[in-house]
Structure 1
Amino acid sequence: MCSVPAFKTLRAAFPDALITLTGLSWSRTFVERFSEYLDEFIEFPGFPGFPEKEAQIEQIPSFLLEVQGRKYDLAFQMQGSGAISNPLVMLFGADKNAGFYLPGQYCPDSERFLSYPVHETEVVRHLRLMEFLGLPSQGEHLEFPLCTQDWEEFHEHQAKYDLPSNNYAVIHPGARSLDRRWPVEWFANVGDGLAERGLRVVLTGVAEETHLTEAVASHMKAPAINLAGQTSLGGIGALLSASRLLVSNDTGVSHIADALDIPSVVLFTASDPARWAPQNSALHRVVAWATTAMPQTVLDQVDQLLFKETVSDYQIFTNTIEHPV
């Protein structure tokens, strides 16, 4: 999601180019959703040292042969700092390569590889690479286009659960990394607080996170609608579009809310909010060092969003950055 503004910039600079994304299997639907910017997808089988997926060693030779056979004019390395990924991208056999590198480590081409901008947000970081290569930025705002199928899925849930538009809140208690998950009991307390404010509560997550949403629901006094494992990525987007706000850990769904301009409170327990947090503080509130943040802290942020209270930047800072690691 955070790379979409860079893809938009790349497409604006090369409107007729064939642009291929290689990534994990879930990225296939990402390419389909962002077909305005991306043309093709090649599934990445993993590689030794990449933490996102255990490498399928037996599939790597055929993957490299497929990529090399495309004879690309330019290969971009946009996977982190390049410490692990640069040697892999050089095996793609493209005519030219571009990306990031860490000073003192392997830099394939000083003219096209940018020193990794450590202190930038994830969105701006990718745009800095485009600008370094002479491609004018097309803006920083995230996007998440919704299609007819997404809305059809939403309307099925809406009819099944008698879900009124703009009168429910979404709680997403999951995250891929265990250390990025806020306690389910505290999510339950927030859910009850949202119910007290007159909102229906909808719980979301992938199928593997059903145990988390069930735990939240079991700890809540108010009823909740548990949609974990029942929504596609686009379906979650439509669900968020018709909601009042989102409360979630720092995970992909928070970027979807950001892209759709849906108010959110995002809990950061292990990741860096300076890198990953949404930037529009009028719509999105960040609770940093959330391992010790109590549910009332989150509900205070919810109230500021729901009831449009004016809070100074200093007040937000002292509310959210009071427990440094």
Structure 2
Amino acid sequence: MNSFIEGLAPRRIVVFRALQLGDMLCSVPAFRALRSAAPRAHIALIGLPWARAFVERYPALFDELILFPGAPGFPEQPEDDSALPAFVDAIRERRFDLAIQLHGSGGIANDLVCSFQARANAGFVQHDEIQRPGCFIEWPDTLPEPHRYLALTNAMGAPAESEALSFDLTVKDETEYTALIAAHGIEPHRLVLVHPGAQLPSRRWPAARFAEVADTLADDGWQIAITGTAAEAQLTVSVLGLMTAPALHLAGSTSLGSLGALVGRARLVVCNDTGISHIAAAMRTPSVIVASGSDTQRWAPLDHERHRVVADYPPCRPCSFRVCPYGHECALNVAVPQVVGAAREMLARDQHAHPAAPGKLHAQTDAILSFASEVRHVT
């Protein structure tokens, strides 16, 4: 008996998933399964403007990015539906064979995808939602995020070869990373990345606590680099300003690719539950994740040995608020010693990590200067 995809034999597939970096990385295993089942199909992703870099990074998985103009009920961008009718008309004219709702649990996302009038549809439905024609499964609410989308592709007849996240580096990424090392004196063998940002304020651990963790690890001899986007510079500068130890400030200095290369070479990432935690998972770099508000069963990395989640669980969790209205207990109940202890434990496992003397930002430079001084003294 043919599977859904085999019977349909789609030549043109459109996938709706207009979300941010972490969400997209968690769906890469499902995209790999889809491509394996439809190797010659033209696969278009409907996504946010930033996703152009995402599609370019995975040329084997996608053939095209179609920009989603936004609509009420989709808060990832302005909820304006003025451009929606023209957008839907343009999608209909493409006459896709298969439209896949990979955006979320169902409801209005299904209404939108079904309005594309593809030959067939697939996706998720909520438990109380009417069944949609095509290949729709009930939203698997208890599964980790990557497994949710693999459940759908598996139901479609596209089984996964691997559940692992991936983030393939390009020549451009490596070139940018090399320039980053030269510009900032990065020492990968003792580099710890501290990433205090997150898209939602409710998901951020306090900057002062990140600074305490960074100071402690710097005193242990690790080189600390504070990372973030250019838009997060105020936050990253505040962490830097609260520190007593020296640290590199890399906010706004990395592209998505060079950040991936940086994460891949670092000994540890300390961060909130946000996009960089999924880059760390994809690059197999150990991480300590302070998870505030989020559903850790859903968003925690699958490898619990390599990635340590530190969290507190007040009754209001999981949280759907942008800004916590309850005093942010889930963040404030996570203490600095908990995070430091987890970080030290992860670093102690790494046989290739070599801390320097306490508080040294550029240990290699210090060693070179010391050697030069000895040479001058002898001569």
Shorter-chain-normalised TM-score: which range? over 0.9
Q: 2:67 aligns with which of 40, 43, 52?
A: 43
Q: 2:340 aligns with which of 299, 314, 319?
A: 299
Residue 162 of structure 2 aligns with an amino acid whose one-letter code is G
State the Cα deviation string for residues 90-118 of structure 1 (Å, max 9, x = none). 11121100000012124322x51000000
2:154 maps to 1:131: yes
SS of 2:42's equivalent in the other structure is: coil
5+ residue gaps, structure 2: 1-24, 313-329, 351-379
Aligned to 2:122: 98
Kept after mapping to 1: 8 A contact 2:225/2:247: yes
Aligned to 2:197: 174
Aligned to 2:50: 26
- Counterpart Cα distance in 2 of 1:5 and 1:166: 30
2:93 maps to 1:69: yes
Kept after mapping to 2: 8 A contact 1:100/1:116: yes
1:58 Cα offset (Å): 2.5
- Counterpart Cα distance in 2 of 1:149 and 1:30: 14
- Counterpart Cα distance in 1 of 2:151 and 2:236: 38
Residue 221 of structure 1 aligns with an amino acid whose one-letter code is T
- Counterpart Cα distance in 2 of 1:164 and 1:44: 41
More displaced 10-residue stretch of structure 1: 86-95 or 48-57? 48-57
2:331 maps to 1:308: no
Aligned to 2:108: 84
5+ residue gaps, structure 1: 310-325
TM alignment of 1:140-151, pairs within 5 A: 140-151=163-174
- Counterpart Cα distance in 2 of 1:166 and 1:159: 15
Aligned to 1:207: 230
Kept after mapping to 1: 8 A contact 2:173/2:257: yes
SS of 2:293's equivalent in the other structure is: coil
- Counterpart Cα distance in 2 of 1:232 and 1:71: 35
TM alignment of 1:188-199, pairs within 5 A: 188-199=211-222
- Counterpart Cα distance in 1 of 2:93 and 2:231: 36
Kept after mapping to 1: 8 A contact 2:37/2:157: no
1:66 Cα offset (Å): 2.0
- Counterpart Cα distance in 2 of 1:29 and 1:65: 26
Residue 55 of structure 1 aligns with an amino acid whose one-letter code is E
Q: Taking every aligned residue pair, what percent have the same amino acid on both sides?
A: 43
State the Cα deviation string for residues 239-262 of structure 1 (Å, max 9, x = none). 111111100000111000000000
Residue 307 of structure 1 aligns with an amino acid whose one-letter code is A
Supply the RMSD in Å over aligned alpha carbons. Answer: 1.2
List, as ranges, runs of 4+ consecutive aligned residues in structure 1 with deviation greater than 4 Å: none
Name which structure has the greater RCO, CA cutoff 8 Å, separation 6+. 2
- Counterpart Cα distance in 2 of 1:103 and 1:165: 48
- Counterpart Cα distance in 2 of 1:268 and 1:47: 29
Q: 1:187 aligns with which of 201, 205, 210?
A: 210
SS of 1:278's equivalent in the other structure is: coil
- Counterpart Cα distance in 1 of 2:107 and 2:80: 20
Kept after mapping to 2: 8 A contact 1:8/1:37: yes
2:303 maps to 1:262: no
State the Cα deviation string for residues 143-194 of structure 1 (Å, max 9, x = none). 0000111111111121111111221111111111110000000000010111
Residue 299 of structure 1 aligns with an amino acid whose one-letter code is V
SS of 1:135's equivalent in the other structure is: coil
1:61 Cα offset (Å): 2.2
- Counterpart Cα distance in 2 of 1:56 and 1:293: 38
1:65 Cα offset (Å): 2.1
2:275 maps to 1:252: yes
- Counterpart Cα distance in 2 of 1:166 and 1:264: 15
- Counterpart Cα distance in 2 of 1:197 and 1:217: 17
- Counterpart Cα distance in 2 of 1:59 and 1:104: 30
Q: 1:160 aligns with which of 175, 178, 183?
A: 183
Kept after mapping to 2: 8 A contact 1:83/1:106: no
- Counterpart Cα distance in 2 of 1:6 and 1:63: 26
Q: How many residues align?
A: 308
TM-score by length of 1: 0.92
Larger radius of gyration: 2
